[in-house]
Amino acid sequence: MSFVADLRVVLQGRDFRRLFGTRLVSQFSDGIFQFAVTGFAFFSPENQTTALEVAAGLAVLLLPYSVLGPFVGVFIDRWSRRQILMIAPFIRGLLLFVTAALVATDAPDPAFYAAALGVLGVNRFFLAALGASLPHVVPADRLMAANAVTPTSGTVVTFIGAGVGFLLRDIFGGSDFGVALLMVVSGVVFGLSALVARTMGRRLLGPSDDPERPQAREALRNVVVGLADGAKHLVRHRRAASTLGALAAHRFLYGMCTALGIILYRYYFTDGDPDAALRGIGLVVAASGFGYFMAVIITPYATERFTIERWVPIALASAGVLTAALVLPFQEWGLPVAGFVLGVAGQSVKICADTAVQRDVEDIYLGRAFSIYDMLFNGMYVLAAAVAAAILPADGKSYLAVVIISVGYPVAALAYRAVTSSSRAQVV
């Protein structure tokens, strides 16, 4: 089915439209916030950003709340997901105002990162609840279509939000006060998503009742055991587990690409001009966003023609080959094109992973499954940035990093193919 056809089909459901609207508003706000944080942390004229600082910044912003993922799963599997979607935006908005105040008053960096960590932690809780809620508003046979137009559309809207943030930066200015205003705007917009979520019924989005499920307090005491149970449940569903592994491999390699691109633009392509570097990275982000959108159109056709088990390795292998061709010359034009290619490939794999997890994992495990998903999604990205920090030179020009990325994608494709082929053989 085409993107338009998929969208037309899933939008026929009133409850889906409301959940979809909640996602779009929230992720538009998130795009503004992400642009503000990226510009402040990595492209501030006062900072001489290094690969190590990029890795440290990503670790501070992403890794800690990924580690908290199991605790998120406990509550998503117990609390009304509709209530989570209503309350989280107000908490995030409050934290955004605090973060804006810290930036405007030139507070120490640790205070800024702590507040930003809180904002992103609440946001991940919110997105995990959205992911676990989707099967409650669309039929099982429309999950692929829904996954092609919801998380992906949300990501595209995030890119649009980042573009709006770029335009607002020209209006507000690139000073600390301008960054603070961007965060305030993001907080106000995110609060609107709660008004959309409020139109849905309290019990509509689950979780399903389970009389044998332990109380939340007991579950928190046994959170490691619960996470292990979720992992065992995933392993028993080989297609979901292997597709999640493919996504984790992509995130690692994409994390290396991110660190490489930031340092190349910061120094190699622009001679240390932070404004020129931000414009260059902005072009790469825009190209990646277009690639994400194209994945929405391509993936439903591709999975219908090839199946998920064949399309995932095709996307991964293509990403590796094309990245080598585009980035190894170290010409500035190659990075936006590579961003587009990785946007298509990465989002294609993500759509397949979302669908495999939602279709194969039982509802009472969905919260924990998506917590593991989040841990891998962010943890692999941060790990890659740390590896990049160890191998990237000061100006970012590293043939070794490009070779690792270019070879890593086909290797991940072969590993995925081997696991899924073995799984089918066992079934036969």
Write out pLDDT tens, residues 288-341.
989 988 988 898 889 888 889 999 999 999 999 999 999 999 999 999 999 999
**Average pLDDT taken over every residue of the chain:** 85
Residue 427 pLDDT > 50: no
% helix / strand / coil in the chain, to the nearest 5? 85, 0, 15
Half-sphere exposure of 5 (CA within 13 A, CB side): 8
Can you tell me the distance from the alpha carbon of 172 to that of 36, in angstroms, rounded to the nearest whole number?
A: 11
Distance CA 24, CA 208 (A): 25
Contact 47, 112 (CB under 8 A): no
Residues 6+ apart with CB under 8 A from 386: 55, 59
Q: Phi first, then psi: give them for residue 272, nearest 5 degrees.
A: 85, 10
Q: Answer for the pair 186, 35: CB distance below 8 angstroms, yes or no.
A: no
What's the pLDDT band for 64 if we cut at 50, 70, 90?
low
Mean pLDDT of 354-362: 82
Residue 402 has pLDDT above 50, yes or no: yes
pLDDT of residue 210: 61
Give yes or no for a contact between 266 and 274, defined as CB atoms under 8 angstroms apart: yes
Backbone angles phi, psi at 204, to 5 degrees: -60, -40
| pLDDT higher at 38 or 249 | 249
Give mean pLDDT, residues 134-148.
Answer: 81
CA atoms of 81 and 384, how far apart (whole Å): 32
Q: Is the predicted pLDDT of residue 68 greater than 60, yes or no? A: yes
R_g of the chain, CA atoms, integer Å: 21
Picking from 400, 409, 271, the residue whose alpha carbon sits closest to that of residue 338 is: 409
pLDDT at 98: 93
Q: Model pTM? A: 0.78
Position 426 scores a pLDDT of 54
Determine the angle formed by the axes of helices 363-391 and 223-236, rounding to 10 degrees. 90
Given a contact cutoff of 8 angstroms between Cβ atoms, the answer to whether 31 and 160 are in contact is: yes
More confident residue, 3 or 133: 133
Cβ-count burial 162-178 (b if 16+ within 10 Å, e if not): bbbbbebbeebebebeb
DSSP 365-381: HHHHHHHHHHHHHHHHH
d(CA 138, CA 341): 30
From the list 86, 19, 79, 89, the residue with the least C-alpha distance to 203 is 79
Note the pLDDT tens digit of each residue in 81-94: 899 999 999 999 99
- Say which residue the tokens 């690639």 belong to: 291
Q: What is the 3-state secondary structure (H, E, C) of 128-154?
A: HHHHHHHHHCCCHHHHHHHHHHCHHHH
**pLDDT > 70 fraction of the chain, expressed in percent and rounded:** 89
Q: What is the pLDDT of residue 147?
A: 72
Q: For residue 248, what pLDDT is reported?
A: 95
For the ranges 115-124, 188-197, 319-328, 363-372, which has the lowest average pLDDT?
A: 363-372
For residue 214, the 8-state DSSP code is: P
Tokens encoding 13: 């459901």
CA-angle at 31, arms to 25 and 35, nearest 5°: 155
Give the tens place of pLDDT for each residue, 181-191.
999 999 999 99
What end-to-end distance do the CA atoms of the chain give, in Å? 30
Q: pLDDT for 186-210, tens place per residue?
A: 999 999 999 999 999 888 887 876 6
Please say whether the beta carbons of 344 and 315 come within 8 A.
yes
- pLDDT interval class at 428 (50, 70, 90): very low
pLDDT cut 90: percent of the chain above it: 36
**Count of residues in the chain:** 428
Q: Which region among 28-42, 227-241, 242-256 has the lowest average model confidence (pLDDT)?
A: 227-241
How far is residue 314's CA from residue 417's CA, in Å, rounded to a whole number? 10
φ, ψ of residue 293 to 5 degrees: the values are -65, -40
Interval 207-216 mean pLDDT: 64
